[in-house]
Amino acid sequence: MTGIADPTFFFSYRNRGDVPFWGTIRSNPRIVHWFRMQIAIIGSGITGITTAYELSSDGHRVTVFDRNAVVAAESSFASAGVISPGCVSPAAAPGLRRWLMRGLFSHASALRWRPNLNRHQWGWLMKWWRACESGQTDDMRAMIGLAMLSRERLAGITEHERLDYERSEGVLLLLRSSREFAATHRHQQLLLELGVDAQELTPERCREVEPGLGERARLAGGLLLADDGVGNCRQFAQLLRDLTAARFGTEFRLNTEVRSIDTRQGRPRLQIERTGQDTREETFDAVVICGGASAMPLLRSVGLMLPLLPVYGYSVTFRLRPESEAPRSAIVDARSGVAITRLGDRVRVTGGFEIGSDRRPFDRERALAPLYRALHRWYPYAADRSQPQIWKGPRPMLPHGPPVIGPAPAGGVWLNLGHGAHGWSLACGSARLIADQIVGREPTLDPAPFSIRPWL
């Protein structure tokens, strides 16, 4: 048997509350072999790769589709690499309205945007503007919980699979004024309540944790997230892709775009186009959409108008100077939102938010200016700036709330998207959460905050 014609077979037991039945089946490898599903995953960024790993290790036959020639080619390509429950938050928050208006007039701002006639962009901004009226505390709790699960799952996969990629421990949030310190103190109390190790530090203690910090930089203190850290997202994705393909036979179809999804026959039928070849159709028991903002046409093909918007970010990567004072792990400038991370013998500076910049691009030098200023402020002599590697990538953001992780209204279609700037911090937890739901197993984390219902 190659799969089950109707994946609702699994869920009928869950709807009757007979969860132990599926637990018994899953615990017997011989039975699982006959009941495994054929699942398509659309997108091979860090979310798609981790989802493929979890579903493949559960015994399913998984095929991953991506329009790019390599995995982790877009949002996951040159991210900051920060893995931090202490730094995740929804896109909307009180006080950010001023930040948006500042970005309209000052292109040196961390957020830059230009008004245009794109109705989708204006609709997104209106939802975001209204969401900034409240504190989004429940959404933040949900995202921090998911990030903690993700950090735990990432550590488990790394140890179990013996994956060797660039990584380090500790994230230090740097504060330049007493006002920033007061705001961060409130955030610290929430983190401590949720079980995150968050320690307030004096300027002296900050320099003990990160001895390379510029001596002349103004520093009021910091918040140390000792259990958080840094990992090379793209390197991890490539290692996990190779392992998943070799061990489980997971198929990766690159240079292949899924044009639409038809669910009228009860099972998802995908219209697939490989570069230079004719369009063909294939049917699966389930499909998981893990694409970024490029997933909008697919969502529309199944009747969904999810308000995903590509918000662009930048990173600049430098080689370290010999014997230079470089970061040991990661620092985040709380005022600018710029992160400086250590990746082996390189240092990466990441930040910025650009809205609507794909058709009318901003001046790149102005966009990179906040990143260079942050590096000069905190680590003025760390980097060899002669050959910078510059990257700009889209981050699929919802106007507010956590990502969507769960079933779509269309039968057999599942969603794992909308992670914004926190894809790496949330990827492993999101993958486990969606895999548990697909087989009807009781998830470790409550899936309710990640439902698509608020967007319908």
Q: Domain boundaries in the chain? A: 8-74+235-305+401-455, 82-135+161-230+308-397
Percentage of the chain modeled with pLDDT above 90: 61
Task: State pLDDT tens for residues 381-390.
Answer: 999 988 999 9
pLDDT per position as a tens digit, 38-53: 999 999 999 999 999 9
| In the predicted structure, residue 337 carries a pLDDT above the cut 60 | yes
Predicted local distance difference test score (pLDDT) of residue 277: 84
pLDDT category at 108 given cuts 50, 70, 90 is low
Asked whether the domain spanning 82-135+161-230+308-397 has the same topology as the one spanning 8-74+235-305+401-455, the reply is no
- In CATH terms, the fold of domain 82-135+161-230+308-397 is D-Amino Acid Oxidase; Chain A, domain 2 (3.30.9)
- The model carries a pTM of 0.89
- The pLDDT of residue 314 is 92
Residue 18 scores a pLDDT above 70: no
Bigger pLDDT: 30 or 434?
A: 434
Per residue in 369-423, pLDDT (tens digit) is 889 999 999 999 999 988 999 999 888 899 998 999 999 998 899 999 999 999 9
Question: What CATH homologous superfamily does 8-74+235-305+401-455 map to?
Answer: FAD/NAD(P)-binding domain (3.50.50.60)
3-state helix/strand/coil string of the chain: CCCCCCCHHHHHHHHCCCHHHHHHHHCCHHHHHHHCCEEEEECCCHHHHHHHHHHHHCCCEEEEECCCCCCCCCCCCCCCCEECHHHCCCCCCCCHHHHHHHHHHCCCCCEEECCCCCHHHHHHHHHHHHHCCCCCHHHHHHHHHHHHHHHHHHHHHHHHHCCCCCEEEEEEEEECCHHHHHHHHHHHHHHHHCCCCCEEECHHHHHHHCCCCCCCCCCCEEEEEEEEEEECHHHHHHHHHHHHHHHHCCEEECCEEEEEEECCCCCCEEEEEECCCCEEEEECCEEEECCCHHHHHHHHHCCCCCCCEEEEEEEEEEEECCCCCCCCCEEEECCCCCEEEEECCEEEEEEEEEECCCCCCCCHHHHHHHHHHHHHHHCCCCEEEEEEEEEEEEEEECCCCCCEEEECCCCCEEEEECCHHHHHHHHHHHHHHHHHHHCCCCCCCCCHHHCCHHHC
Of the given ranges (231-235, 330-334, 359-363), which has the lowest mean pLDDT? 359-363
Q: Do 319 and 313 form a contact (C-beta atoms < 8 A)?
A: no
Q: Which of 28-37, 141-150, 239-248 has the lowest mean pLDDT?
A: 28-37
